[in-house]
Structure 1
Amino acid sequence: MSETNHLQEVEPILSHYGIQPHFVEGFQKVKRIYSNKGIFALKKITPQQGTDFIKHIQFLYQKGFNRIIPIYPTLDGRYAVIHGKNLYYLMPWLPNEIKEDRNELHQQMFRELARLHTLSVREVTIDKEEKNVHYENTVREWDKENEFLDGFLAQCEGKWYMSPFELLFCLYYHDISQALRFSTNKFKEWYEKTKDDNKARVVLAHGKLSTEHFLYDDKGYGYFTNFENSKQSSPMHDLLPFLSRTLKTYPKSHEDCVDWIYTYFKYFPLRDDELNLFLSYFSHPHGFLAVVEEYYKSRNRDERKYVQKLQRHYWHLKNTEYIVMRIDEIERQKRLEKEAQAEAQSQGNT
């Protein structure tokens, strides 16, 4: 789109803010506006996204959460402008010039995420019957996955000559089976602790947590942006997708991820049952299983492609396994120290 077209597109929208644009740069759904009143970011969203977005932004403002990128009101007080078939809102353009190291940036983001969840947390009533059905269906599904793994292993081992994919699967089988068992056990622990409860905690989840959606001003303060996918949900809906994306690397010890998680826990600690559910979903090898099932059902197989996909998912599993085991060990050590303190206290009182 030419500069003239950009200006023609944004002028009627910016008139609601009393802003006259001089120059416009387009970045997909966001435009950088150079104007008579400074530099701004104008973002386009759908009207369907807009209703909850505005409601959630107003809620966080009322709660005193100040680490959302400011949304400027129009001259008549609205937080967004309808133009054509879209909704537009205006923000300052943050320079996002990163001076800290990567770990410090993530620490700050997880700290502010914990604050966001703390300010928005509330308890909701859940239907026990629905919870029981969810539990039974999930365990049944995971049992079927385990049966499929065992059946595919037997099929591979029964051949005179295995394909490269089948050989790799057999080498990885033990680790995958262990991950599925650990995930299922944690899920069952969660259920045993909560089966008689009809309450659960929900927060306002950002919905698309990313370092690309946590921007920095010229003073080094970080602000969340892109709240269009925010919703009342479990804290895990922010944590798990971000961690999963981060761990899609070659195998390595992601100790920095453990630090980020415990930075979050410091400001928003998960309850024991929530931690069990978090570890269960986090450790479940769903990506690996999906590749094996896809290979099993495929007729025209690109062996090389499937081997690469299986290896990538195995690396992801091993990276996840390291963090899950570290968290499990840290929490076990905390419990032992707590029990030792309680025992020492009881002996001191006798």
Structure 2
Amino acid sequence: MNWNEILDSFQLQPEEIEQVTEKVYKIKANQQYYALKRTPYQEDVFGKWLAIQQYLDQQQIFAFAPIFQSKQKQPFIYDQQAIYYLMPWLERSTQEQPIDEYETVMHTIGRLHGTTMQSHPTQSLKDNKDTITAQFQQELLQYREQSLGYLRQIEAKRFMAPTELQFCMYYRDLLQIYDTLEEWQNYYVTELEKTEQMKYCLCHGNLQPSHYVVANPYTYLLNWEYAYMSSPTYDLTVYYQYLFQFHDCDMNKLKQAFLVYCQYVPLTNFEKSLFVLQILSPARLLHMATEQNNNRLDSLSYSMELERIYRTLLFGFEMQASVYQQLQAME
């Protein structure tokens, strides 16, 4: 890395350079602090990054941390197979009266989705309703058969491995999740028939606590490289599933945060059912549990990862119950 050339491109004369993470550097220059982010260059997405940044500038969307342009009037520079872009260094707020981080983030992501909101017709989905229904049925049947087949396989052993015993303990909950998933699949298809338009907006793409900074009075989103246009439910799913993996996840606050989000983006019943189908998907758990050639983790790490994925499903199940109550209250 040629520091002089990179920083000169942003017209900075550095006084201090500190590597904070593998990809982020804290730069002191001109009596101010900056964050320099490095990300691998990918030719197939380079144009997408430029388009997203231009879209943010043209639409004056301020949810993301601002990016300084280089001397060449570009939002980032290219150097040795990597892209570098420069932002202000934002410190996380520390104050005597703690704020509710979840609600604060939902205000920010709600504004991002709301200000970039578009809609497109659901007719193509309706035209393929029979195919979607068949896919749902086949998918659910595969989940049930895969779970039961694996359970029989490990119960036939004289001694189970710890992760196999874990799966046996999970099995009853999985059956309940499958039944609930089937109900939501049917609800999705029913609501699809009633829905003419579905929402479409700019999604952050990888929303998690390390990708935003709560800097009172604002919350700034970081890492727009993953941003894309899609249903707002995908951002919600990524964020909630990340938080669900922790045992001390505060579900009451997350349920309230969801209501805050819906004040900005009033999700239809169809879109809420899509959100539930996403957070209830057991695909990751089944893949992790039944993958026999997974040698990347030692047995303890493997067991802990399996438990995190299972916990994500359980919290997702609790979240869907809250969404269902909201739907019942509206009827």
TM-score, length-scaled by structure 2: 0.83
For the residues of structure 1 that align with 2:196 and 2:83, how far apart are their CA atoms? Answer: 39
Q: Is 2:265 the counterpart of 1:259?
A: no
Give the letter for the 2:323 counterpart.
I
**Are the aligned partners of 1:213 and 1:225 in contact in 2 as well (CA < 8 Å)?**
yes
For the residues of structure 2 that align with 1:193 and 1:103, how far apart are their CA atoms? Answer: 37
SS in 1 for 2:5: helix
Give the letter for the 2:320 counterpart.
V
Displacement of 1:122 after TM fit? Answer: 1.1
TM-score, length-scaled by structure 1: 0.79
Aligned residue pairs total: 323
Gap change, CA 1:17 and 1:149, over 3 Å in 2: closer
**Are the aligned partners of 1:251 and 1:316 in contact in 2 as well (CA < 8 Å)?**
no
In the alignment, what sits opposite 2:279?
282
**Are the aligned partners of 1:69 and 1:223 in contact in 2 as well (CA < 8 Å)?**
yes
Out of 131, 144, 147, which is 1:146 matched to? 144
Gap change, CA 1:174 and 1:91, over 3 Å in 2: same
Higher Rg: 1
For the residues of structure 2 that align with 1:90 and 1:328, how far apart are their CA atoms? Answer: 43
Out of 159, 173, 176, which is 1:178 matched to? 176
Gap change, CA 1:275 and 1:34, over 3 Å in 2: same
Cα deviation digits, residues 115-165 of structure 1 (max 9, x gap):
1011111123563456654442233121121233344556677x5967466
Structure 2: segments with no counterpart, 5+ residues: none
Gap change, CA 1:222 and 1:192, over 3 Å in 2: same
Which aligned pairs between 1:1-350 and structure 2 lie closer than 5 A? 9-27=2-20, 28-36=22-30, 38-45=32-39, 46-48=41-43, 49-99=45-95, 104-125=100-121, 127-128=124-125, 129=127, 132-152=130-150, 163=160, 169-195=167-193, 199-217=197-215, 219-250=216-247, 254-294=251-291, 311-335=307-331
Give the letter for the 1:25 counterpart.
E
Displacement of 1:289 after TM fit? Answer: 2.5
Cα deviation digits, residues 207-263 of structure 1 (max 9, x gap):
11112111144x542211110000111212211122112111337762121112111
Identity of aligned residues (%): 23
SS in 1 for 2:220: strand
Structure 1: segments with no counterpart, 5+ residues: 1-5, 336-350
SS in 1 for 2:226: coil
**Are the aligned partners of 1:213 and 1:226 in contact in 2 as well (CA < 8 Å)?**
yes
**Are the aligned partners of 1:190 and 1:273 in contact in 2 as well (CA < 8 Å)?**
yes
Coordinate RMSD, CA, aligned: 3.2
SS in 1 for 2:224: coil
Give the letter for the 1:18 counterpart.
Q
**Are the aligned partners of 2:27 and 2:33 in contact in 1 as well (CA < 8 Å)?**
yes
Cα deviation digits, residues 30-72 of structure 1 (max 9, x gap):
2222123622122223253442223223322332322221111
SS in 2 for 1:31: strand
**Are the aligned partners of 2:151 and 2:168 in contact in 1 as well (CA < 8 Å)?**
yes
